[in-house]
Amino acid sequence: AGPHGAAAWSEVTRALLALARLWLRDDGLPARPWFKNLYVATDEDSGYAAWALPGLRRAIERRDRAELDAMIAAYAEHLARLRETARGLGEILGRR
């Protein structure tokens, strides 16, 4: 189990899963509410290519300022939660 023990690694696993889930947005992506992941989604045209940060990319490509502002706010909110969860993970790993 290493220097942290099995219980600590269970906490790490839970924190990593929480980090992954924090990329999900209940409202989904603009024009595609069934895609919930703000980190990555398929492109709108082919459905094959991966778009990183798809909410921002769509707004930028469409030159849609209102959508871009909304997505910046959404990403800022999600990134703040990610930061807090990552800090918690750092605290778990910092224990001896």
pLDDT, position 61: 94
Tens of pLDDT, residues 16-55: 898 899 999 999 999 999 999 999 999 888 878 999 999 9
Degrees to nearest 5, angle at CA 20 with 96 and 77: 100
5, burial (CB in 10 Å: exposed 0-12, middle 13-18, buried 19+): exposed
Q: Is the pLDDT of residue 70 over 80?
A: yes
Please give the sequence-ordered ranges of beta strands (E in DSSP) within the chain, or none if there are none. Answer: 40-42, 50-52
For residue 12, what pLDDT band results from cuts at 50, 70 and 90? confident
Higher-confidence residue of 7 and 24: namely 24
Its pTM stands at 0.79
- Look up tokens 């909110």; give the residue: 77
